[in-house]
Structure 1
Amino acid sequence: MPPHCLSINGPFMIVTSARRVTGRAWTSTGYSFIRPRRSQEYSTEAIPQDEQTIVKRRPQFRDYFITHLPSSSLHPDPRGPTSPFHKLPRSASVPHTGDTSQSPTPFQALVDRETTVVRIPLRNAKHHFGAVTARGTRPTNQDTYQAGVIDIPAFAKRPPASLTIKRNSSPRESRAADTANGDPQVFYFGIFDGHGGSECSTFLKENLHEYIQDAAAAFEVGSSLRTNQQQISGSEQAIGPLPVMQVANRHRIGDLEKHLVQNWRRMVGGYFKRFKPPHFSYYGSESAEAPSTGHVSIEEIMEYAFLRADLDFVKAQAAKRDDDLVQAEKPLNDDEILHSPSLTRAPKIGGPSRFKGGSTGSVAMISTPSPTPFWHPAGPSSLLISHVGDTRVLLCSTENGEAIPVTSNHHPSSPIEAGRLRRYAATFVTDSFGEERMSGLANTRAFGDVQSKRIGVSAEPELRRIEMGAAEYSFLVMVSDGIGGTLLDQEVVDIIKEARTPEQGARDVVSFATEVSKDGDNSTCLVIRLGGWERRQEGGVGSLGTKESREWRRQDATDPRRSRT
């Protein structure tokens, strides 16, 4: 046993210097259970030396967030008063005025009491987040989603010095707990819509956040809030104030990007022979030299993570034989030794046979410059959207109540997508519904789709960064095409305005879309509360803008004469 580990209670151990092990690990907040990762996460064979750091470091993704709450009646503050305040005689009771110097000692102890760090499951926090999915009339539900706290350095824009002078005087109950590296928590929300099956969307749900964490670790990214002021000022003079740059190992980033682009060219070819990711600073040219700025943007990290995840999935499918009936009938764990995933040599991605389908996906990450959570009305935050396909992301403006689309559909009808692919695409056709398709596909960007990679169906994400002011937006919505193709953006936003909680808003959107839909596609809706949630009905006419049209659509959908047409 290593000297830094002390075995207790059988398989559990206390770790003093090792960061990630199986069992229970001691952190600053106490014991936390760390699950063992799957077979493909332990295999380091066929991985270049410059990419093995991605496998060695194991960041932790949590489906809960950590915050400070005051002590409750079950755990009273020992410094508090010995008797309840409501039992004091009228002559001895003094109203609390907020001035602790003139207040009695019990009141002062109540105001200055200690807070407790608690963990709140994100999926059960219906007042902060809501997620609902429905199968519709399809035989299976191919939509998946993910929500939690991702272990990467903060990428938020640093607040002005005037806002950070009195940071310590803010109430402790209104701030979240810091992560292990000292930064505020970075929240991660993802929605994935599979087509042809759920293998690809399930893979993205379980692994895409880990690719992002591993890419940030391999790039050796530093926090945007703890960077040397001289380095930041020098980079702003060289590249401008935007995007927000973070300290990183530029030489290592160049090697990783070069190897990734070469893999795409060598394995797929076609469209990827001239492939140049727009956010990559180094394209893998033999005569080029890696930039020596020593900084990287979060956009470059996300683009690398998306392309890396897509490459691993496509490579795993290409290695399978879809016509091998004997191999297809074998169980997934047939080659495992004592059913131990850590001893499996070949990674398992997808099913036993080749998966020819794919998945779209949208990821939203929110980072705050201070411990104040992003849903606090007085706290600014930075929102980063990474989008592939036709899942939609919307923001509701607190000022006027309008729906603000953050993403665009990657369809052949888009002029940008059509211009990008016409030289490689086999055919552009229009189906019976009047929608353009490329080789039978409705999406020009997607994960997977092995047979369409050579014509340019890639996972290059559309990236957009939004600096959200205090209570500037009411909530964030993420929907699959079962809702985005049925309801208007303003209808989705107006339905959520009428709900009391984000969870109820997500349920109402899915219910209404399922009721008025004609094709019965899978429907998934994620609602994230922002700082202006309490003022969501103040802007403009509130939720009355589309109420009349929604009532007409509901009546038309329930009309028994509708089925005769």
Structure 2
Amino acid sequence: MALRIPIKARIARTVGTVQHAAYHDYVRCATPGGLIRLPLISPNVIGVANSRGNRGHQEDFYAFATLSLNPEELRISVKKAHGINWDHTKLGDQFARQAVFIGIYDGHGGSAVSQYLRQELHGLFESVDKTMVPETYAWVKEIGGYFKRHRGGVLAPWINGTENTPELDLEARATEAFFQVDRNLSSDPVAQKCGATASVAILHTLDDPPVPFFAAEQVALTVAHVGDTRVLLCSTNGGKVFPMTENHHADARIESARLRRMMGSGLITDSFGESRWMGALANTRSLGDLQFKKFGVTPEPEVRTKLIQGKEWAYMVLVSDGVSSILSDNEVVDLARLGKNPKDAADRILSFAQDLGGGDNATALVVPLAGWGKIQGPDKTKALREYRFEQSVGSERQRRM
């Protein structure tokens, strides 16, 4: 089943002139007839399902935008991550700069930080530059505690000044943007006790001539992540799942090693048997939660990259923990393969999580790739999902009797 975009209804053509439209709302590609702009909001381009569940308020948010980034930064990133000598000079400035940003944000302690991310993070990601790093580092050191021993991480080349230094790559840009969020929120009393987890995916097409990410032969994917929102790739070979994120919980391997090395022990198990850092937080990386920063809760993202080759990958799914706490990664990607378009795929994920009793805020985003509709092999979790559904329905009937 090939992904079809209803062109007449959903695109604007320009030949020789540029029509007025918000740059961030469209992804662009070149055709013999001129420039085509496809709206990111189309259900065939990015599928979205979002629900507050049984809760009286919504703390889950999301955002997507086309960014205009320094093509030299993109070239450096592709070379560093994938060893590819990408030549942006042949594409023209508009296409050379284009990268699609997709973010999912799960708030806790209130919605203030996750709403801020929805409104501002993609703009911050686009606007930060290396000249901001020294001041950001100085602010980070003022936090004290955990950050007394911070040496800059991936931002180290720029912390003492930026003269004669290289351009940022996407990992450094993401790190600077995430730290800028906390710096901007540091004067807000609400952000002291309120926070959010975040996963951001950057899709950068390498094709010449340029085509959208859902049809491209080569896409450089960069994921920047804090917390327990999840980003999953689904392959066309058997529908195998490839996680691009790892949950930043205090008892996770990477996080427990980081925190023991820098802070000693602060892990407490609550009455439900769940591990909490400082007895309060499930996640040890987040944005906001400023009162906990000196105790090791960092906004520094874990950044992973992958080269998406041709039709090897069918789609990418981003979910909040209102979904991932109910469904396994394999169940998520298997549900998505049943969708007739990305919007329908996202709806199926969210509906099934709710059918199994999920009452938390929940969000699912489905992003098609060149292998959309081409998954080979059986639906591996079908029998398990049917069993779980029957058990859930039976339990609900017993509660009503």
* TM > 0.5 fold call: yes
Match status 1:310 vs 2:310: no
For 2:158 and 2:263, the matched residues in 1 are separated by: 21
Report the alpha carbon displacement of residue 426 of structure 1 after superposing the two structures with TM: 7.0
Per-residue deviation, residues 105-160 of structure 1 (Å, max 9, x unmatched): xxxxxxxxx52534332112x22210110111111111000112111134264799
Q: 1:453 is aligned with what amino acid? A: K
For 1:416 and 1:447, the matched residues in 2 are separated by: 18
For 2:30 and 2:288, the matched residues in 1 are separated by: 41
The residue number in structure 1 matching 2:133 is 257
For 2:29 and 2:46, the matched residues in 1 are separated by: 15
Per-residue deviation, residues 444-491 of structure 1 (Å, max 9, x unmatched): 000001221110111110001111111121100000001111100000
For 1:547 and 1:298, the matched residues in 2 are separated by: 38
| Residue 323 (structure 2) aligned to one of 462, 483, 493 | 483
For 1:161 and 1:265, the matched residues in 2 are separated by: 36
For 1:284 and 1:381, the matched residues in 2 are separated by: 31
For 2:224 and 2:276, the matched residues in 1 are separated by: 23
| Residue 120 (structure 2) aligned to one of 190, 193, 207 | 207
Report the alpha carbon displacement of residue 192 of structure 1 after superposing the two structures with TM: 0.3
Tell me: CA distance 1:548–1:162, structure 2 relative to 1, closer, same or farther (3 Å): same
Helix, strand or coil: the match of 2:276?
A: strand
Per-residue deviation, residues 331-370 of structure 1 (Å, max 9, x unmatched): xxxxxxxxxxxxxxxxxxxxxx665210000000011123
Report the alpha carbon displacement of residue 372 of structure 1 after superposing the two structures with TM: 2.4
Conserved? CA contact 2:47–2:343, under 8 Å:
yes
| Residue 30 (structure 1) aligned to one of 13, 18, 21 | 18
The residue number in structure 2 matching 1:458 is 298
Say what the alpha-carbon RMSD is for the aligned residues.
Answer: 2.9
Tell me: CA distance 1:123–1:425, structure 2 relative to 1, closer, same or farther (3 Å): farther
Conserved? CA contact 1:142–1:201, under 8 Å:
yes
Tell me: CA distance 1:31–1:564, structure 2 relative to 1, closer, same or farther (3 Å): closer
Match status 1:64 vs 2:52: no
| Residue 275 (structure 1) aligned to one of 131, 150, 156 | 150
Tell me: CA distance 1:450–1:179, structure 2 relative to 1, closer, same or farther (3 Å): farther
Tell me: CA distance 1:434–1:390, structure 2 relative to 1, closer, same or farther (3 Å): same
Q: 1:311 is aligned with what amino acid? A: R
* 1:148-163 to 2 correspondences below 5 Å: 148-154=65-71, 155=74, 157=78
Helix, strand or coil: the match of 1:474?
A: strand
Q: 2:183 is aligned with what amino acid? A: L
Tell me: CA distance 1:479–1:466, structure 2 relative to 1, closer, same or farther (3 Å): same
For 1:33 and 1:527, the matched residues in 2 are separated by: 25
Match status 1:554 vs 2:394: no
The residue number in structure 1 matching 2:282 is 442
TM-score, structure 2 normalization:
0.85
Conserved? CA contact 2:44–2:341, under 8 Å:
yes
For 2:17 and 2:144, the matched residues in 1 are separated by: 49
Per-residue deviation, residues 415-453 of structure 1 (Å, max 9, x unmatched): 221222245377311123322101211000000012211
Q: 2:68 is aligned with what amino acid? A: D
* 1:333-372 to 2 correspondences below 5 Å: 356-370=193-207, 371-372=210-211
For 1:430 and 1:284, the matched residues in 2 are separated by: 37
Conserved? CA contact 1:482–1:524, under 8 Å:
yes
The residue number in structure 2 matching 1:233 is none
| Residue 530 (structure 1) aligned to one of 345, 369, 391 | 369
Tell me: CA distance 1:411–1:458, structure 2 relative to 1, closer, same or farther (3 Å): same
The residue number in structure 2 matching 1:240 is none
For 2:17 and 2:109, the matched residues in 1 are separated by: 44
Q: Which has the larger radius of gyration?
A: 1
Conserved? CA contact 1:261–1:283, under 8 Å:
no
Q: 1:273 is aligned with what amino acid? A: K
For 1:517 and 1:381, the matched residues in 2 are separated by: 37
Quote the sequence identity (%). Answer: 34
Give the aligned length: 374
The residue number in structure 1 matching 2:12 is none
- Higher helix proportion, which one? 2
| Residue 134 (structure 1) aligned to one of 51, 58, 74 | 51
| Residue 391 (structure 1) aligned to one of 204, 216, 229 | 229
Q: 2:298 is aligned with what amino acid? A: S
The residue number in structure 1 matching 2:39 is 121
Helix, strand or coil: the match of 2:296?
A: coil
For 1:551 and 1:413, the matched residues in 2 are separated by: 32
Higher RCO (Cα < 8 Å, 6 or more apart): 2
